[in-house]
A and B are shown apart, each in its own frame.
Chain A
Amino acid sequence: MFAAENGLKGDPRLQGISEAIRVVPHFPKQGIMFQDITTLLLDHKAFKDTVDIFVDRYRDMDISVVAGVEARGFMFGPAIALAVGAKFVPLRKPRKLPGEVISEAYELEYGTDCLEIHVGAVQPGERAIVIDDLVATGGTLSAAIRLLERVGAEVVECACVVGLRDVKGQSRLNGKPLYILVEPRQVCDYEYARVDFAENDDA
């Protein structure tokens, strides 16, 4: 579900957040309009608004775990965790976490990848949210949900800054609700974005 349809209709913060995200065409390959949140992180007000919207939503939902997906989930998750009084749990690519882990494989367009969590980071029965910058196919977030459920956590919701209304035709992932702040923008809007970067300046 989108924030604008869930209590934040007309909230001016959402427009500021959307406009602060830069669209980079054809990254990492032709045809992909990459939603670059690094420009959002440069806009202190928009970044703060992003975190505040998530915090306002989750602070009274008894969340004790904020799980962030490596690496861009790390940029949003900890600030949310600190504000709602939850632990921050990083979900990482293989062989990064030093202690005992459990792993969950997921499919890429070509091949598979793996997400890991430290054993003991989460206790059975804890209420968790999963955070990442963007949801596309939902593969990574689905793996994150499965990992948390395997250690006995209750995944309350997945939260993303950017995402499409439906992931593969579903508004839920593994039966869990998705909460998304803004839709992806297309490059034709870029000229109106507030943050202007020199993209092909070789001079």
Chain B
Amino acid sequence: MATAEEQQDPRIARISSAIRVIPDFPKPGIMFQDITTLLLDTKAFKDTIDLFVERYRDKNISVVAGVEARGFIFGPPIALAIGAKFVPMRKPNKLPGKVISEEYSLEYGTDIMEMHVGAVEAGERALVIDDLIATGGTLCAAVKLLERVGVHVVECACVIELLGLKGRERLGDRPLFVLVNST
């Protein structure tokens, strides 16, 4: 299990407190972890990116895949800093070119995630990034899309892990790195 919190990196406390919790969004009972306030704290946002960059810069990663839409906020700065490409993983009908699709389950019903054909090549080493992991359904779909075309997913990386929703379990033996845990 990998979290930066365990090593007590001094930057984590400020990152954690910059995240705003919004009760009952999008529905009653959910405590929504709002990272937009983190993006307003220039030091905490920079530290967030730096923590990921420090971890991945020497791991020969050529692909950073970011899950729509909040993965688009964290992924590109990491990709730019480590010399990787950025690949957006999107909701259906957003990507204009030929795509491959992966269906995944939601609490009620299913959704679909898409990636452009040709964006990645077999044998590339990838990171998958999103702001948060809850049940792990979205991250798992992204991982599967990449694995289907022969990419090796080195790790999934999130700012926040919501404990108790078995997201880590759903990823199986694929490594997960998070900065902050929340219950």
Q: Please give the residue numbers on chain A whose beta carbons come within 8 Å of chain B beta carbons, in ascending order.
A: 22, 24, 27-28, 34, 36, 38, 41-44, 47-48, 51, 70-72, 74-76, 78-79, 81-82, 85-90, 92, 95-99, 118, 121, 197-201
Contacts and interface: CB of A to CB of B under 8 A. Distances in A.
Given A42-B85, A201-B98, A99 B118 contact: no
9 contacts: A28-B93, A34-B96, A42-B119, A48-B80, A75-B72, A75-B76, A78-B77, A82-B45, A87-B39
Contacts of A99: 20, 22, 34, 36
Given A24-B97, A42-B87, A75-B86, A90 B36 contact: yes
Interface in B51-106: 68-70, 72-74, 76-77, 79-80, 83-88, 90, 93-98
A71 B69 contact: yes
- Give chain B's interface secondary structure class: mixed
A88 B45 contact: yes
B85 A22 contact: no
Contact of A118 (B32, B36, B73, B76): B36
Contacts of A34: 96
A90 B77 contact: no
Query: Counting chain B CB atoms within 10 Å of each CB, which of A96, A98, A201 scores highest?
Result: A98
Contact of A97 (B36, B45, B84, B94): B36
B151 interface: no
Contact of A71 (B68, B74, B86): B68
A197 B97 contact: yes
A98 B41 CA distance: 18
Interface residues of B, number: 41
A121 B84 contact: no
B118 to A, nearest CB: 5
B183 interface: no
B69 A87 contact: no
Nearest to A43: B85
B39 A90 contact: yes
A38 B95 contact: yes
A79 B39 contact: no
Contacts of B119: 38, 42
Query: Counting chain A CB atoms within 10 Å of each CB, which of B34, B72, B86, B88 scores highest?
Result: B72
Contacts of A36: 96-97
B46 interface: yes
B32 A85 contact: no
A3 to B, nearest CB: 19
Nearest to A40: B86
B26 A24 contact: no
B42 interface: yes
B80 A47 contact: yes
Contacts of A42: 85-87, 119
B98 A47 contact: no
B149 interface: no
